[in-house]
């Protein structure tokens, strides 16, 4: 059902102390959207993602997930969610994949994947295991299901983290630089999985430095600069003639090393 | 509360503090040096020395200090060859024996603590040192020891406090430090609680000072780990 | 040989009593460790709570019970505890003396001390948990209780095992001091045997060896537990020094 | 209270006064005497072993009712607990290594009687001459310690031990030259030291050591004390104490007064 | 003085247990050579570099640094250097830059840089500090000289590691994947420094996955496969028509992700 708004962010602001990192960002993601978030280091990309699933509480603004608004209490300059229960529920609908994987080191890969469905969603264990095995096969690490995270390569860990997030059947997936901690050889594996997800119609928000992903996989590119959306558009618009000078300079920088 | 009695007890006990401190500081120094020797045997490649060090650590960590001290003081003298050796003039002295057995015991513990510190040194940093041509003593002095010591410091502070409390056993070998004097007072007055309370306060103060000093040292040695100073923040 | 007979199991041998005493030492230490685990967990939680008053309480506890000689604490619990129980008895109408059994008093005293050390072990273990893994738990919508049960507890236990091994060793030797309560544990039985037979060296050496046996048994258990817990850790990839 | 039952404590490691057998039961002079005293006082007694260090506080805390552990009756102790009349009074003497030049000092084999604070005793002055510059080992906080400090403190080095047994070992090791203690205790210690130690100088008896060894009870329990006083009187009168004493000490320790 | 052979490796072999990782590799580097070492993961590139400066001892073969042969003792299947003193000396002539920086965490950046010159080469401290400051300026982190490694970004740490190696005035620099642990944004900084070094005529041996570096900066490309040199040549030869099928397949792989 394309056209349904899965995620809607209105005018999000976030300050750390006196330092305003996000200065009012809005964004809508509809079903099947794959949005690339680009921007220089420190421009607030990670903070933005973390505000969406409330790992940070935004100082101001509204967040709607699948039509439900996250209720916030704003009082005297600080704000906090009104209901921890709602936060837990919203989070279970948003899959997050961290740059540094953050797999639970004391659980095997399979246990990592079924942890959320079994204990947060309280679904039957056997069913979850069956689904988890399908997911692990999909990301190509089914043979590692009984290994511990520490015994996997970076690329394998990252794919396990994706499987873990997918197992919650989230409405929207948030990726924070999913490949930047990987050896160049492993980047390919992870990008292949993400591309497959995009083709299946998963709504995704991806902070990335991989221009080829932004250009070829996503259907929208958002360029952030100093806590604001500097420009956004389809990949063709952004990488084509319509690029703003700031974005042009930004992607120019990527040309040098590679 | 009989404050006159408490005051008198405190005065008597405070007179024994120099003896406690002497036992403590000497055994920490001797024990520390011994621990370095043991840990060198333990991690250096030689299997015989390493096995010896392992055995040493096992015995001295695994049995009560009371027994060790008893055997060192009363036991060594049972052997004629020790009694007639050049060592006897030293071993004859109760103070020497007390320091010796405290040092032997703490050496076992400290060696394990130091080994933990050495294991915490990143092998990569050691490789980096080798790659610019460091080896042997230079490597130990410049890279291994400073980092290992910093890592070992918290555990070592605990060990030092334990040592302070262990000096209490020295009265077994006729060295009358604070606890021994307290016990003698008790067997004269039978006011166990009051006397021990005074002793407890003395140990608490001594240990508090030691712990503060150690955490100060720890703080000054961990500049490289502290949160980024604002001036350096990107 | 007369010596062998003395430590043997015959009618003049102390073997049985010594083994029993070793068992008592083992039980006291194990109970103390269990008591200390509960206290240690509470104190560690207080110290980690960030609330000034709780942190202060935690700090006082760990400073006092690590800084005061163990013997004093044992006296305090043994006599202080008894008079407390007696006065409670009086209040409830029971005339006469109600003692804290020496086993209980000893285990409680050593447990309170080991609680101070365990608090530090647990605190260190908690701090060793990767922040990212805690965030990952939040991110899939785990509530506080679930996160505590599923992620924090298993990891704290894993990181705490080596430290707990050390605390066990300390408690084992602290238990030697509760001989003042008259409990027939290994240290007291060795001393009684030595005093009764006047074979001081023999029984102190045998006592020492039995302590070493207890140590090596517990070492084995803790090493096993550590290996089990470390299944999930990277295989020790120590480079050559 | 009618005292039909009472708990008696002793260390169980102070042979031959009291000791522990290899099967865990208590034996020695005091356990046997206790049995007789309790029978005569018509009290059902339970003997429990406990540590010497905690004995007096534990008595006052109520953990047991009677201490019977070669406890000398002294003024200091009288301040905190009550005592029965003595059931034993023992002489004290110096001991040294058999092959020591100090062996067989003047007065060896003789017995002298002293009162508290007495000075100018010629036998003691003779010893003072002989022991000049030597090291004397004593058990801390005993009446014997006070005697040695008073009479030899100015001419000899004095070393205090926590237990007599430790001191005996050092006497054998040669770390100290002399020991001073209860002669009955010493006699037994010599046996286990393979007779490498021996008495030297005279045995000292008399009120200087206080009234002797009695049972310790709580000060409030005068009725219990009285019952035991009667029992001790009768056991002394009919020679039961002497009999037991000869069995365990080879000498008679019953108080002579 | 072009044409001087700085580093010469003859027929190096290395086994771990029964697994032979290097099967006889030879290589010469003359003054000013910049050699890129390429190869799939596990092909033995790191092991090769580590053998050169004796962090691993080769099972067989000869190594000459600046005309001096490293003396080895071969005995019963194992081998070890004949003289630790010579090893230390040779190592001080070979600069090594590790993938994971390996800065000494207990020293500031400046202390890291002067450590070798002062304590290994035993040169006057003041002189070393002056030189270190020049070097730090050259790699662009002069303002961080009193910071500790933990407070620097990855790119800054990597540049500090390069400065540390350069401070020893090595005859040859060995780089092991100097950029693969870096965020793409930081890669550029480090590559710029290396390019500058190459222009100054430093002899370099660089294990890398950066094709643009191999192609544009180095004057020789060596492609390793399963412990052997599969092919080597100038960048033009290798990336041009003369590429072997294996190398062509290898570089094809890099195209996918980026
Ligand atoms: N917890 C925090 N406290 C204070 N400042 C913070 C905190 N987290 C982030 N910041 C600051 O907010 C700014 C934006 O950080 P953020 O991590 O969102 O950047 P980013 O765009 O993700 O950069 P990168 O590409 O390097 O990951 C930075 O200047 C950072 O220093
Ligand atoms: N210390 C060691 N013990 C056993 N095997 C080793 C050791 N070090 C490396 N190997 C093995 O040697 C082979 C080559 O490793 P090496 O690290 O040299 O590869 P590489 O070409 O650098 O790969 P990468 O690009 O992944 O860094 C690998 O199969 C590896 O498993
Ligand atoms: Mg970020
Ligand atoms: Mg490598």
Mean pLDDT of D44-72: 86
C152 touches chain A (CB under 8 A): no
With a cut of 70, say whether residue C237 has pLDDT above it: no
Is B226 contained in some domain? no
Cβ distance C141 to A90 less than 8 Å, yes or no, reads yes
Tell me which residues of chain E have a pLDDT lower than 70: 1-3, 181, 183-185, 252-258
What is residue B152's three-state secondary structure? helix
Interface test with E, best of B45, B131, B223 (most E CBs within 10 A): B131
Is B108 contained in some domain? yes
E107 touches chain B (CB under 8 A): yes
Atom of ligand 2 nearest to the CA of E39: 21
d(CA B173, nearest CA chain D) in Å: 7
User: In angstroms, what CA-CA distances link B167 with A207, B161, B171, C102, D73?
Assistant: 61, 10, 8, 26, 33
The whole domain housing B94 covers 19-175
Cβ distance B131 to E96 less than 8 Å, yes or no, reads yes
d(CA E249, nearest CA chain B) in Å: 33
The whole-model pTM stands at 0.82
Residues of C in contact with B158 (CB under 8 A): 66, 117, 120
C125 touches chain B (CB under 8 A): no
pLDDT digits (tens, 9 = 90+) for A76-117: 767 888 888 899 989 989 999 988 889 998 899 999 999 999
Element (H, E) at D47: strand D44-49
Element (H, E) at A239: helix A235-239
Mutate to test the pocket of ligand 2, among E14, E17, E21 (most ligand atoms within 8 A of CB): E21
In this predicted model, which residue has the larger pLDDT, D11 or A41?
D11
C-alpha E179 – ligand 1 centre gap (Å): 22
Residues of C in contact with D20 (CB under 8 A): 192-193, 196
- Residue A12 DSSP label: E
Atom of ligand 1 nearest to the CA of A19: 5
Cβ distance A184 to E184 less than 8 Å, yes or no, reads no
pLDDT digits (tens, 9 = 90+) for C118-164: 999 999 899 888 888 888 888 888 888 888 988 998 888 888 988 89
Among all bound ligands, the one having the nearest atom to the CA of A44 is 1
pLDDT digits (tens, 9 = 90+) for D9-50: 998 888 889 888 888 889 999 999 999 999 998 999 999 988
Is B107 contained in some domain? yes
| Among A91, A103, A115, beta carbon nearest to C138 | A91
Is C212 contained in some domain? no
Q: What is the mean pLDDT of chain D?
A: 87
Please tell me the residue having the least CA distance from ligand 1 atom 7.
A16
Whole-angstrom distance, CA of residue C204 vs CA of residue C199 = 9
Mean pLDDT of A131-151: 90
Query: Which chains lie within 8 Å of chain D at 3 or more CB pairs, if any?
Result: B, C
Quote the tokens at residue A78.
């600080």
Quote the tokens at residue A255.
């040309």
Is C206 contained in some domain? no
Whole-angstrom distance, CA of residue B61 vs CA of residue B110 = 10
Residue D257's pLDDT is 54
Core vs surface per residue C5-15: b (16+ CB within 10 A) or e = ebbeeeeebbb
Sign of CA dihedral E144, E146, E149, E152: negative
DSSP string, C126-174: HHHS-HHHHHHHHHTT--HHHHIIIIIHHHHHHHHHHHHHHHHHHHHHH
What is residue E28's three-state secondary structure? strand
d(CA A241, nearest CA chain C) in Å: 39
**Ligand 2 proximity of E18 Cβ (cutoff 6 Å):** no
Whole-angstrom distance, CA of residue E151 vs CA of residue B230 = 10
Q: How far apart are the first and last CA of chain E?
A: 40
Is C133 contained in some domain? yes
Residue B224's pLDDT is 72
Residue E185's pLDDT is 66
φ/ψ (deg, to 5) at E115: -55, -50
* Residue-range domain boundaries for chain A: 5-253
pLDDT digits (tens, 9 = 90+) for A194-210: 888 888 889 999 998 88
Residue B226's pLDDT is 67
Q: How would you classify the pairing of strands E19-30 and E5-16? A: antiparallel
Residue C97's pLDDT is 61
C-alpha A21 – ligand 1 centre gap (Å): 7
Atom of ligand 1 nearest to the CA of A50: 18
Q: Which residues contact D235 (CB under 8 A, 6 or more apart)?
A: D33, D36, D37, D40, D87, D241
Is C187 contained in some domain? no
pLDDT digits (tens, 9 = 90+) for A217-258: 899 999 999 899 999 999 988 888 778 888 887 776 554 333
Fold for the domain defined by A5-253 = Rossmann fold (3.40.50)
Quote the tokens at residue D256.
């002579």
Per-residue confidence at A183, pLDDT binned at 50, 70, 90? low
Whole-angstrom distance, CA of residue B23 vs CA of residue D161 = 18
Is B32 contained in some domain? yes
Interface of D with C in 153-182 (CB under 8 A): 165, 169
Is C4 contained in some domain? no
C220 touches chain B (CB under 8 A): no
Whole-angstrom distance, CA of residue B215 vs CA of residue E27 = 53
List chain B pLDDT tens, one digit each, 234 residues: 688 889 999 999 999 999 999 999 999 999 999 999 999 999 888 899 999 999 999 999 989 998 999 998 888 877 777 777 777 888 888 999 999 999 999 999 999 999 989 988 888 888 888 888 888 888 898 989 988 998 888 889 989 999 999 998 898 888 989 988 998 888 777 777 788 889 999 999 999 999 899 989 988 887 776 655 444 443
With a cut of 50, say whether residue C238 has pLDDT above it: no
Residue D83's pLDDT is 94
Please tell me the residue having the least CA distance from ligand 1 atom 25.
A41
What is residue A229's three-state secondary structure? strand
Residue A113's pLDDT is 94
| D16 upstream amide cis, omega within 30 of 0 | yes
Per-residue confidence at A185, pLDDT binned at 50, 70, 90? low
Is C70 contained in some domain? yes
Mutate to test the pocket of ligand 1, among A21, A49, A55, A250 (most ligand atoms within 8 A of CB): A21
C154 touches chain A (CB under 8 A): yes
pLDDT digits (tens, 9 = 90+) for C73-96: 888 888 777 777 777 777 777 666
C231 touches chain A (CB under 8 A): yes
Quote the tokens at residue D20.
């522990």
């Amino acid at each position: 059902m394309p056209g349904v708004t899965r995620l809607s962010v209105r005018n999000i602001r976030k300050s750390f102390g006196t330092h305003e990192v996000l200065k009012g960002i809005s964004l809508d993601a509809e079903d099947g959207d794959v949005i690339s978030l680009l921007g220089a280091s420190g421009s607030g990309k990670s903070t933005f993602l973390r505000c969406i699933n409330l790992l940070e509480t935004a100082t101001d603004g509204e967040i709607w997930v699948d039509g439900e608004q996250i209720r916030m209490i704003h009082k005297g300059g600080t704000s906090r969610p009104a209901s921890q229960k709602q936060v837990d529920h919203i989070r279970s609908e948003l899959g997050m994949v961290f740059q540094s994987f953050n797999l639970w080191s004391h659980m095997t890969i399979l246990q990592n994947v079924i942890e959320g469905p079994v204990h947060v969603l309280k679904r039957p264990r056997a069913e979850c295991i069956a689904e988890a095995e399908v997911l692990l096969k999909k990301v190509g690490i089914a043979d590692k299901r009984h290994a511990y995270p520490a015994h996997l390569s970076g690329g394998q860990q990252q794919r396990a983290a994706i499987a873990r997030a997918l197992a919650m059947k989230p409405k929207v997936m948030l990726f924070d630089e999913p490949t930047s901690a990987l050896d160049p050889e492993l980047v390919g594996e992870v990008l292949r999985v993400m591309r497959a997800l995009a083709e299946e119609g998963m709504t995704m928000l991806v902070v990335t430095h991989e221009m080829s992903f932004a250009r070829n996989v996503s259907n929208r590119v958002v360029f952030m600069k100093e806590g604001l959306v500097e420009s956004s558009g389809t990949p063709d618009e952004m990488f084509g003639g319509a690029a703003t000078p700031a974005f042009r300079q930004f992607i120019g920088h990527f040309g040098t090393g590679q | 509360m009989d404050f006159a009695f408490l005051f008198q007890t405190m005065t008597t006990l405070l007179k024994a503090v120099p003896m406690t401190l002497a036992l403590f500081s000497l055994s920490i120094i001797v024990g520390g040096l011994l621990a370095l020797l043991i840990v060198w045997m333990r991690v250096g490649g030689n299997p015989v020395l390493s096995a010896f060090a392992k055995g040493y650590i096992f015995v001295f960590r695994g049995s009560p200090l009371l027994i060790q001290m008893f055997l060192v003081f009363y036991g060594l003298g049972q052997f004629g060859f020790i009694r007639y050796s050049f060592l006897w003039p030293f071993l004859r002295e109760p103070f020497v024996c007390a320091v010796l057995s405290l040092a032997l015991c703490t050496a076992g513990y400290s060696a394990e603590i130091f080994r933990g510190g050495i294991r915490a040194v990143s092998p990569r940093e050691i490789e980096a040192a080798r790659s610019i041509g460091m080896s042997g003593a230079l490597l130990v002095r410049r890279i291994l020891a400073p980092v290992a010591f910093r890592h070992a410091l918290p555990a070592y502070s605990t060990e030092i406090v334990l040592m302070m409390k262990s000096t209490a056993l020295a009265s077994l070998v006729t060295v009358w430090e604070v606890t021994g004097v307290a016990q003698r007072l008790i067997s004269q007055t039978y006011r166990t609680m009051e006397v021990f309370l005074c002793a407890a306060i003395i140990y608490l103060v001594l240990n508090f000072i030691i712990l503060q000093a150690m955490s100060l040292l720890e703080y000054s040695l961990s500049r490289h780990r502290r949160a980024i100073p604002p001036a350096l923040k990107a | 040989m007369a010596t062998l007979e003395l430590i043997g199991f015959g009618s003049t041998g102390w073997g049985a009593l010594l083994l029993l005493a070793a068992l008592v030492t083992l039980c006291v230490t194990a109970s103390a460790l269990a008591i200390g685990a509960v206290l240690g967990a509470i104190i560690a939680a207080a110290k980690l709570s960030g609330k000034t008053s709780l942190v202060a309480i935690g700090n006082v506890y760990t400073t006092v019970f690590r800084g005061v000689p163990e013997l004093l604490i044992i006296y305090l619990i043994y006599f202080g505890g008894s008079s407390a129980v007696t006065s409670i008895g009086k209040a409830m109408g029971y005339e006469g003396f109600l003692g804290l059994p020496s086993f209980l008093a000893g285990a409680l005293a050593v447990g309170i001390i080991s609680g101070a050390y365990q608090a530090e072990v647990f605190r260190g273990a908690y701090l060793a948990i990767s922040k990212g893994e805690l965030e990952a738990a939040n991110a899939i919508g785990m509530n506080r209780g679930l996160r505590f049960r599923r992620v924090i507890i298993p990891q704290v236990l894993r990181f705490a095992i080596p430290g707990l091994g050390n605390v066990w060793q300390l408690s084992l030797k602290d238990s030697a001091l509760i001989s003042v309560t008259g409990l027939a544990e290994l240290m007291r039985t060795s001393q009684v045997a030595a005093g009764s037979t006047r074979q001081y060296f023999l029984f102190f050496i045998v006592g020492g060896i039995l302590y070493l046996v207890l140590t090596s048994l517990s070492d084995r258990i803790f090493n096993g537990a550590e290996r089990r817990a470390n299944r999930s850790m990277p295989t020790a990839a120590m480079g050559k020094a | 209270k009618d005292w039909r039952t009472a708990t008696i404590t002793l260390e169980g490691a102070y042979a031959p006064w009291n000791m522990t057998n290899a099967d865990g039961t208590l034996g020695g002079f005091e356990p046997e005497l206790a049995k007789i005293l309790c029978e005569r006082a018509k009290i059902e007694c339970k003997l429990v072993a406990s540590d010497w260090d905690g004995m007096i506080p534990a008595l006052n805390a109520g953990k047991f009712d009677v201490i019977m552990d070669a406890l000398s009756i002294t003024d200091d102790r009288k301040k905190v607990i009550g005592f029965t009349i003595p059931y034993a009074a023992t002489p004290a003497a110096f001991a040294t290594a058999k092959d020591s030049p100090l062996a067989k000092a003047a007065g060896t084999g003789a017995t002298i009687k002293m009162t508290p604070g007495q000075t100018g005793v010629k036998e003691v002055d003779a010893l003072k001459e002989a022991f000049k510059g030597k090291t004397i080992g004593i058990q801390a906080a005993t009446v014997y310690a006070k005697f040695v400090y008073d009479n030899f403190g100015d001419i000899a080095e004095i070393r205090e031990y926590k237990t007599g047994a430790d001191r005996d070992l050092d006497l054998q090791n040669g770390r100290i030259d002399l020991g001073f203690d209860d002669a009955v205790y010493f006699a037994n210690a010599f046996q286990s030291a393979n007779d490498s130690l021996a008495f030297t100088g005279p045995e000292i008896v008399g009120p200087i050591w206080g009234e002797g060894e009695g049972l310790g009870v709580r000060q409030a329990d005068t009725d219990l004390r009285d019952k035991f006083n009667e029992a001790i009187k009768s056991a002394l009168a009919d020679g039961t104490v002497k009999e037991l004493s000869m069995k365990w000490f080879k000498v008679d320790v019953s108080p002579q007064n």
